[in-house]
A and B are shown apart, each in its own frame.
Chain A
Amino acid sequence: MERRTIFRGWLLPVAFVLPQLLLTFFFFLWPAGQAIYASMTRQDAFGIRTQFVGAENFTDLFSDPLYLDSIRRTVVFSASVAVLSMAVALLLAVFADREIRGRGLYRTLLIWPYAIAPAIAAVLWVLLLHPQIGWIGHGLRALGIHWDYKLDGAQAMLAVILASAWKQVSYNFIFFLAGLQSIPRAVIEAARMDGARGWRRFRTITFPLLAPTTFFLIVVNVVYAAFDTFGTIRALTRGGPGKATETLVYKVYVDGVENQNLGSSSAQSVVLMLAVILLTAIQFRYMGRKTER
């Protein structure tokens, strides 16, 4: 049943909505508008004169090999983070879904990493992976592997992928666990009666029934990896060595804040904004269709 309250007049409803509208305006619409405007301007080297250049920043961007490299890097990074964090989360969720002793504690502990700030999480990983003081880094070197993510680009990428994926496992775990628990027990039991066991039952029954959850998480994880990992990368590698871990979001920061190229940096953030809008639209459309049936 739909519950609806009818307000008389307009003052009260406006008062209810106003705080959210103000937040949206000051923290989203205004900066977004400024970014869009700035993306179509160019400043001289001293920031004295600003000139309107239309779409030139964008066309420059897509003909810049450094930018295209960063896109490629971001795709690899996002896909790796999404796959790794979802796979680990799904495995943990399958275990947590079973009847085991201490299940409550196990679940609670798994949710903790989500509550940790990205920079703190990154510091934890620094302490683990550092070639000299980190025990993983130290151990790898003891095994004869030349581990130094501050010098080796591939190792640096691996480190930021690990740290970013680890932080997202909790979130994915919660959704996968909820998804698993919403599968009717009887359906799983019917499969058992039909003779399906272990991996086969998971592959043919459980996993297909998790499809809506999985799709939702793919979008969320890609968005997270692509746009929400600045803090982790900043604390762990600062985009380096070289540009080895400079994803699109990190590049916005480097170009805008460090290199003071506001026009290009703004153009890049507008591109990212469009990407987020696109991903969100895909997700809403798909979820909308799911709920209609």
Chain B
Amino acid sequence: MMASLKLEGLRKSFGATKVLHGIDLELASGEMLVIVGASGCGKSTLLRLVAGLEEPTAGRIVLDGRDVANLDPAERDIAMVFQNYALYPHMSVFDNMAYGLKIRRLSTAEIRKRVEEAADMLGLRPLLDRKPRQLSGGQRQRVAMGRAIVRHPKLFLFDEPLSNLDAKLRVTMRAEIKRLQRRMGVTSLYVTHDQVEAMTLGDRLLVLHQGVPVQLATPMEVFERPADIYVAGFIGAPAMNLLPARLAAGGTAAQLDAGPLVPFADGRRAGADGMKLTVGIRPEHVALVAEGGLALQVDLVEPLGSETVLIGRLPDGEMLSIKLAGAAPPEETVHVAIPPPNLHVFDAATGLRLEPRG
């Protein structure tokens, strides 16, 4: 079953605390949208509003053309995968998956068929008689997925479903979730604080910051053209370097506080010379040069195998990290340059991205 989802002016306050400041969002049928943000940004609350586990303070939740904002979860036809799986501990794997179907009064034969289908899809067939406590973390995760799948719901909700798994399993399950979602074509909302999950799983990302949606775009667009300083620092690892600078040369270059003048490769920015900027450069884009450029006092070397991260200080005390292919040079001070094409320019006052004019 495919369905579209539309959120209009969705707000939520707990007492005087505003958690969500108005979310407008439209999901196409079959789309997977990932909501990403630091803890406390309101992403779980947003998901729980859609689920019906919390009541919105204002706004509409339109699922398949019907406003469900004031309906009980039972009437919304939405399935949810919880962070800690939330399996029914006293029921077998089969009964865990069958529970929602029994409540919907499906025939025994239909229930069996759907559960076995899902069990085969998830490799749970041999475990159907087990209780949750007899399962490993990864298996529990699969059962939680299965419980959502068998329902054939209009919408899937995922609330950080992989955060309790170890790193290796997380990668496997991530791929599995993506495959399943594609195969079943169910419209999905996926909440995570993990930017790698966000980048790999989402057709589009919604970045939330303190209850405000700051950017809604495809993962690559968010990565390549972050809408503000928050998104720039949040998406990408290691985080983008953000350096203070001023607009110079009639809006065609940034004068870094650290020294060099970096011309804009993509055109001039609006504003008077001397306007405060924040200039972003991703660690993998900072270039090592033999001499000249900026001197970087290396504080920390993090070898990651195929690449190495250097973290150091510029002469004016600003921190800068660099990601290098291969091993680190042995010197304590290296020289770096900032290639103009990879520059991100933000207004230091508003934090917003400054695009080239016309």
Question: Which residues of A does B touch, CB under 8 Å?
Answer: 184, 186-187, 189-197, 200, 204-205, 208-209, 211, 293
A190 and B97 alpha carbons, distance in the complex (Å): 11
* B310 CB-CB contact with A under 8 Å: no
Q: Check if B89 sits within 8 Å of A195, measured CB to CB.
A: no
Across the interface, which residues of B come within 8 angstroms of A204, CB to CB? Answer: 99
Q: Which residue of chain B has its CB nearest to the CB of A194?
A: B100
Count how many chain B residues have C-beta atoms less than 8 Å from C-beta atoms of the other chain. Answer: 24
Contact of A187 with B104 at beta-carbon distance under 8 Å, contacts A192-B53, A193-B80, A204-B99 already known: no
* B244 CB-CB contact with A under 8 Å: no
Contact of B90 among A192, A194, A209 (CB under 8 A): A209
* B327 CB-CB contact with A under 8 Å: no
Contact of B86 among A189, A211, A293 (CB under 8 A): A189
A184 and B89 alpha carbons, distance in the complex (Å): 10
DSSP majority for the B interface? loop
Q: Check if B86 sits within 8 Å of A190, measured CB to CB.
A: yes
Q: Check if B88 sits within 8 Å of A193, measured CB to CB.
A: no
What are 5 contact pairs spanning A and B, CB under 8 A? A187-B87, A189-B51, A190-B82, A193-B79, A293-B133
Question: Which residues of B does A touch, CB under 8 Å?
Answer: 51-53, 72-74, 78-80, 82-84, 86-90, 99-100, 103-104, 133, 147, 151
Q: Check if B88 sits within 8 Å of A187, measured CB to CB.
A: yes
Q: Check if A195 sits within 8 Å of B53, measured CB to CB.
A: no
Q: Check if B74 sits within 8 Å of A186, measured CB to CB.
A: no
Q: Check if A195 sits within 8 Å of B104, measured CB to CB.
A: yes
Q: Check if A192 sits within 8 Å of B86, measured CB to CB.
A: no
- Tell me which of A195, A205, A293 has the highest count of chain B C-beta atoms within 10 A of its own C-beta: A195
Q: Check if B103 sits within 8 Å of A186, measured CB to CB.
A: no
Across the interface, which residues of A come within 8 angstroms of B99, CB to CB? Answer: 191, 194, 196, 204
Q: Check if A196 sits within 8 Å of B133, measured CB to CB.
A: no
Number of CB contacts from chain A to chain B under 8 A: 60
Q: Which residue of chain B has its CB nearest to the CB of A196?
A: B103
Q: Check if B74 sits within 8 Å of A196, measured CB to CB.
A: yes
Q: Check if B88 sits within 8 Å of A186, measured CB to CB.
A: no
A191 and B79 alpha carbons, distance in the complex (Å): 10
Give the 9 A-B residue pairs with the shortest CB-CB distance, closest first. A194-B100, A186-B86, A190-B86, A195-B74, A195-B103, A208-B90, A192-B73, A193-B80, A186-B82
Q: Check if B89 sits within 8 Å of A187, measured CB to CB.
A: yes
Q: Check if A189 sits within 8 Å of B74, measured CB to CB.
A: no
A204 and B90 alpha carbons, distance in the complex (Å): 10
Least CB distance, B304 to chain A, in whole angstroms: 35
Least CB distance, A279 to chain B, in whole angstroms: 25
Q: Which residue of chain A has its CB nearest to the CB of B78?
A: A193
Least CB distance, B248 to chain A, in whole angstroms: 54
Q: Which residue of chain B has its CB nearest to the CB of A208?
A: B90
Across the interface, which residues of B come within 8 angstroms of A187, CB to CB? Answer: 86-89
Q: Which residue of chain B has its CB nearest to the CB of A185?
A: B86
- Tell me which of B72, B80, B83, B104 has the highest count of chain A C-beta atoms within 10 A of its own C-beta: B80
Least CB distance, A46 to chain B, in whole angstroms: 63
Please name 14 further chain A to chain B contacts, defined as beta carbons within 8 Å, in addition to the given A184-B84, A189-B80, A192-B73, sorted by A numbering: A186-B86, A187-B86, A187-B88, A190-B86, A191-B99, A193-B73, A193-B78, A193-B79, A194-B99, A194-B103, A197-B72, A200-B103, A204-B99, A208-B90
Contact of A190 with B74 at beta-carbon distance under 8 Å, contacts A195-B100, A195-B104 already known: no
Q: Check if B104 sits within 8 Å of A189, measured CB to CB.
A: no
Q: Which residue of chain A has its CB nearest to the CB of B159?
A: A186
Across the interface, which residues of B come within 8 angstroms of A184, CB to CB? Answer: 84, 86
A132 and B275 alpha carbons, distance in the complex (Å): 92
Across the interface, which residues of B come within 8 angstroms of A293, CB to CB? Answer: 133
Q: Which residue of chain A has its CB nearest to the CB of B77?
A: A195
A137 and B106 alpha carbons, distance in the complex (Å): 52
Across the interface, which residues of A come within 8 angstroms of B100, CB to CB? Answer: 193-196
Across the interface, which residues of A come within 8 angstroms of B147, CB to CB? Answer: 190, 194
Contact of A189 among B72, B82, B133 (CB under 8 A): B82
Least CB distance, A197 to chain B, in whole angstroms: 5
Across the interface, which residues of A come within 8 angstroms of B51, CB to CB? Answer: 189, 193
Least CB distance, A179 to chain B, in whole angstroms: 14
Across the interface, which residues of A come within 8 angstroms of B53, CB to CB? Answer: 189, 192-193
Q: Check if B90 sits within 8 Å of A195, measured CB to CB.
A: no
Across the interface, which residues of A come within 8 angstroms of B133, CB to CB? Answer: 293
Least CB distance, B61 to chain A, in whole angstroms: 15
A184 and B151 alpha carbons, distance in the complex (Å): 22
Least CB distance, A151 to chain B, in whole angstroms: 49
Q: Which residue of chain B has its CB nearest to the CB of A207?
A: B90
- Tell me which of B72, B82, B133 has the highest count of chain A C-beta atoms within 10 A of its own C-beta: B82
Q: Which residue of chain A has its CB nearest to the CB of B101?
A: A194
Across the interface, which residues of A come within 8 angstroms of B87, CB to CB? Answer: 187, 190
Q: Check if B82 sits within 8 Å of A192, measured CB to CB.
A: no
Across the interface, which residues of A come within 8 angstroms of B52, CB to CB? Answer: 192-193
Q: Which residue of chain A has its CB nearest to the CB of B97?
A: A194
Q: Check if B88 sits within 8 Å of A205, measured CB to CB.
A: yes
A200 and B51 alpha carbons, distance in the complex (Å): 20
Q: Which residue of chain B has its CB nearest to the CB of A184?
A: B86
Q: Check if A191 sits within 8 Å of B104, measured CB to CB.
A: no
Contact of A197 among B74, B83, B88, B89 (CB under 8 A): B74
Q: Which residue of chain B has its CB nearest to the CB of A183?
A: B89
Least CB distance, A49 to chain B, in whole angstroms: 62
Q: Which residue of chain A has its CB nearest to the CB of B53?
A: A189
A197 and B88 alpha carbons, distance in the complex (Å): 15
A220 and B97 alpha carbons, distance in the complex (Å): 36
